Amino acid sequence: MRCNLFIIKRKNAMSTSRNIYLQMHDLEGAKKAMFEAFADIGKLHDALAVASLDAVGRILAEPVFAKLSSPAFHAAAMDGIAVRAETTYGASESRPKTLSIGTEAVFINTGHIMPDDYNAVIMIEHVVEVDEKTIEIEAPAFPWQNVRRMGEDIVATELLFPRHHEITPYCLGALLAGGIDRVNVLEKPKILILPTGNELLALSGLSEAALFRGSVVESNSHVLGKMAEQAGAEVTHHEIIADDTDVIRETLKRHAAPEEAKDGFDMILLLGGSSAGSEDYTRKVVADLGEVLVHGVTIMPGKPTIIGKMPARSEKKRTIPVFGVPGYPVSAIICFEHFIAPLLYAMQNRRMPPEKKISVLPTKKLASRLGMEEFLRVKLGRVEDRIVATPLPRGAGTITSITEADGVIRVPADVEGIRENEAVTARLLRDEAAIDDTIVAVGSHDNTIDILSDMIKAESHRYSLSSSHVGSMGGLAAVRKNLCHIAGTHLLDTADGSYNISYIKQYIPGAHIRLIHLLRREQGLIVAPGNPKGIRGIRDLTRKDVAFINRQAGSGTRILLDYHMAQETIDPGDVAGYENEEFTHMAVAVAVLGQTADAGLGIFAAAKALGLDFIPVATESYDLVIPEKFIGTPQIELLLSVIRSAAFQARVRELGGYHTEDTGKEIYKTP
């Protein structure tokens, strides 16, 4: 749908202009506007002559006709004897026929040129040598049997490939066989990537001090640059530009319409500065120098995308596309996949690679914002006869939600989400066979799961472990619903001090379960180095000067905290930050490191990893719940063998705060 675009400029308290978009394009409307504006973009590129050996992956600018026939002569297709077919007629098992070597038959090898006047080859397996001058055959040959005739594959002057054909390694064989040493291909689209932002820091200037001052490592230009190269483009990277309207405008103008037309670019990506914020200048600059076609798209992530066009100094190319790419990494990638990549392929007269889609079952309800089309990144794995999908963090700045994703679920704008146990379609980001061989782990987070994942991959090129952190109770729920192979859990029974078994009996009754002990670990309060607030225990969490960071409801750590708070008769309302939740121990530790919290309950290994102090509270048992039906399968047997190995246990102990005396032992089996 094509929407009119209205922009309001509002003055804030600091008199800084802030752009607010009130109407946007939906995804299809934005694509339509883009392709209408650049309808002739595939006709604008000049031809470039390249050696055939260097042409793989390039697009032909002109048709290619064979110079030579292939084969260029009649050639034997088998090892055997060359004969004149008519001399073999009448041969049979009951009446074999003899032929004289040299006059009626000639020995020949595969690929060799056929002697003049000979038109068939009898396989050597069907020939009986009577003596040095005579052979015997028991079946006749027919004309051109086992012979590759001249021009059988390629005939000189015939069309090998039409224009706009993409040269593959297979095509290279045909080019060489047809005598083609050079071909004319389309020049690669030339892209300029301009990163903008005062907060950006080039990798070469990376330092811990700079990052703590608010700088961010500039990575989007490198990620998008490699994606553009995969799409067939030639990429030029510009140095980081400060948030200065005049500087951005002059830089964009200089590169969009250079003094020498041959030095111009076919597309410009302006990274950052595309949202509605007060320091986002892309829309204004593009509007000043050209035309804004789209400002905002009703998708998440990727909403701030800008699509525009600017004049170009070229007889063929009157305008060039300019994209305002959002600054958050996931938004930038979504923008590239849905707009930039399709336009790059159109420039080269190439088809977009087909998407592989499969039906998946989400492990929990997926809420979504009505009116916005959302692209949810998920982990996938096959559990028996269905593929389950576990959502990853949604933040547009969470690059690991892309690196860890196996697929993407597209939630339409007219629905508020996806119900639990509702099958949906996911676009695959990984090979389906790899998903079939994934061990799906859902449950409590622990740092040793990462070690387990690494060692499984080291032991087997086939199997891998994919873990999703939803808390111990979430893991038991996943086992009950048959949505995982294993679940990590550390649930304290406050009645007798035992772990996990009573919860298994209560929440998954009747299920056939094996409980495998993974390790014992130290839980405690993670605090800043030197413990500047002088925190000594759970009671200090009620102090007005202490900000706490909690784990999510249903996690074993949350249950442990609530137990100790009850022992101390502490009301949750008396703990500042009790309602603030994180989903992993490392996230709790990072909150303390980043000074957004003074304390959080977590494992010693997380505190040690980030150089934080630790106040012990309890030693708990962390176990793996495994449905018995998966015991004995190759992937679970591999997992158990790794857990029981001395190498795994040694790596676990190196993290600190872990005890492995009983690691790998079966501690419970349902009757």
- Domain end residue (candidates: 167, 185, 203): 185
Q: Are strands 80-83 and 190-195 parallel, antiparallel or unpaired?
A: unpaired
Q: Is the pLDDT of residue 579 over 70?
A: yes
Segment 514-522 mean pLDDT:
96
Run of H or E including 148: strand 147-148
DSSP label at 429? S
266-286 pLDDT, tens digit each: 999 999 866 555 456 788 899
Q: Give dist(CA 471, CA 486) in Å, integer.
A: 13
Q: Are strands 47-51 and 127-131 parallel, antiparallel or unpaired?
A: unpaired
Under 8 Å between Cβ of 148 and 71: yes
Would you tell me the crossing angle of helices 245-256 and 282-289 to the nearest 10 degrees?
A: 50
Residue 258 has a pLDDT of: 63
Q: Give dist(CA 81, CA 100) in Å, integer.
A: 11
DSSP label at 274? -
Domain-located, residue 493: yes
CATH code assigned at 166: 3.90.105
Number of structural domains (the chain) is 5
Q: Give dist(CA 103, CA 134) in Å, integer.
A: 10
CATH code assigned at 595: 3.40.190.10
Residue 83 has a pLDDT of: 96
381, 279: one domain:
no
Q: Is the pLDDT of residue 22 over 60?
A: no
Q: How confident is the model at residue 437 (pLDDT cuts 50, 70, 90)?
A: very high
Q: Is the pLDDT of residue 314 over 90?
A: no
Run of H or E including 478: helix 472-480
Domain-located, residue 19: no
Q: Which of 198, 309, 312, 314 is nearest to 254 (CA)?
A: 312
Residue 283 has a pLDDT of: 87
Residue 209 has a pLDDT of: 53
210, 288: one domain:
yes
Q: Give dist(CA 563, CA 565) in Å, integer.
A: 5
574, 664: one domain:
yes
CA dihedral 426, 431, 437, 440 (to 10 degrees): -40
CATH code assigned at 104: 2.170.190.11
229-239 pLDDT, tens digit each: 999 999 999 99
Segment 302-316 mean pLDDT:
83
Q: Write down the residue that tokens 């056939």 correspond to.
A: 512
230, 308: one domain:
yes
Name every residue whose Cβ is closer than 8 Å to that of residue 61 and which is 6 or more positions away in sequence.
Answer: 45, 46, 47, 48, 163, 184, 185, 186
591-602 pLDDT, tens digit each: 999 999 999 999
The residues with which 291 forms a beta bridge, in sequence order, are: 309
Under 8 Å between Cβ of 548 and 600: yes
Under 8 Å between Cβ of 38 and 343: yes
Residue 204 has a pLDDT of: 76
176-197 pLDDT, tens digit each: 999 999 999 999 999 999 999 8
Q: How confident is the model at residue 469 (pLDDT cuts 50, 70, 90)?
A: confident
CA dihedral 475, 481, 482, 486 (to 10 degrees): 10
431, 539: one domain:
no
Q: Give dist(CA 61, CA 186) in Å, integer.
A: 5
Q: Write down the residue that tokens 């090129």 correspond to.
A: 461
Residue 330 has a pLDDT of: 92
For the chain, give the percent of residues with pLDDT over 90: 73
Domain-located, residue 94: yes
Q: Give dist(CA 330, CA 336) in Å, integer.
A: 10
Q: How confident is the model at residue 8 (pLDDT cuts 50, 70, 90)?
A: very low
Q: Give dist(CA 177, CA 133) in Å, integer.
A: 37
Q: Is the bond preceding residue 71 a cis peptide, omega within 30 degrees?
A: yes
Across 46-50, 141-145, 258-262, 599-603, least confident range: 258-262
Q: Give dist(CA 221, CA 54) in Å, integer.
A: 27
Q: Is the pLDDT of residue 316 over 90?
A: no
Q: Which of 280, 223, 638 is nearest to 465 (CA)?
A: 638
524, 419: one domain:
no
Residue 275 has a pLDDT of: 56
What's the domain range around 300? 24-42+188-347
Q: Give dist(CA 498, CA 515) in Å, integer.
A: 13
Under 8 Å between Cβ of 467 and 449: yes
DSSP label at 348? T
The mean of the pLDDT values for the chain is 89
Under 8 Å between Cβ of 460 and 638: yes
37-89 pLDDT, tens digit each: 998 887 767 789 999 999 999 999 999 999 999 999 999 999 999 999 999 99
Residue 9 has a pLDDT of: 35
- Domain end residue (candidates: 436, 452, 477): 436
Under 8 Å between Cβ of 59 and 185: yes
Segment 23-37 mean pLDDT:
90
Q: Please give the structure tokens belonging to residue 220.
A: 């989007």
Domain-located, residue 473: no
Q: Give dist(CA 312, CA 291) in Å, integer.
A: 13
550, 596: one domain:
yes
The residues with which 379 forms a beta bridge, in sequence order, are: 390
Q: Give dist(CA 256, CA 289) in Å, integer.
A: 10
In a 13 Å sphere around the CA of 510, the CA atoms on its Cβ side amount to 2
Residue 43 has a pLDDT of: 72
Q: How confident is the model at residue 573 (pLDDT cuts 50, 70, 90)?
A: very high
Higher pLDDT, 364 or 225: 225
Q: Is the pLDDT of residue 18 over 80?
A: no
257, 114: one domain:
no
Q: Give dist(CA 644, CA 637) in Å, integer.
A: 11
Segment 238-246 mean pLDDT:
89
Residue 15 has a pLDDT of: 36
Segment 507-520 mean pLDDT:
95
Residue 12 has a pLDDT of: 35
Q: 284-293 long-range CB contacts below 8 Å, 24 or more apart?
A: 284/19, 284/245, 285/245, 285/248, 285/249, 285/252, 286/252, 286/310, 286/322, 286/324, 288/249, 289/249, 289/252, 289/253, 289/256, 290/256, 290/319, 290/322, 292/5, 293/33, 293/34, 293/37
Q: Please give the structure tokens belonging to residue 179.
A: 């005598």
Name every residue whose Cβ is closer than 8 Å to that of residue 275 and which is 6 or more positions away in sequence.
Answer: 303, 304, 326, 327
319, 381: one domain:
no
Q: Give dist(CA 237, CA 353) in Å, integer.
A: 26
608-650 pLDDT, tens digit each: 999 999 999 999 999 999 999 999 999 999 999 999 999 999 9
Q: Give dist(CA 443, CA 483) in Å, integer.
A: 11
Q: How confident is the model at residue 16 (pLDDT cuts 50, 70, 90)?
A: very low
397, 431: one domain:
yes
Q: Give dist(CA 302, CA 127) in Å, integer.
A: 71
Domain-located, residue 15: no
175, 209: one domain:
no
530, 548: one domain:
yes
The residues with which 270 forms a beta bridge, in sequence order, are: 194, 324
CATH code assigned at 280: 3.40.980.10
- Domain end residue (candidates: 410, 436, 462): 436
Q: Is the pLDDT of residue 1 over 70?
A: no
Residue 62 has a pLDDT of: 94
CA dihedral 572, 576, 578, 581 (to 10 degrees): 170
Decide: residue 535, CB within 10 A, 0-12 exposed, 13-18 middle, 19+ buried: buried
Q: Is the pLDDT of residue 207 over 70?
A: no
Q: What pTM, to 2 d.p., does this model score?
A: 0.82
Q: Which of 336, 314, 323, 301 is nearest to 222 (CA)?
A: 336
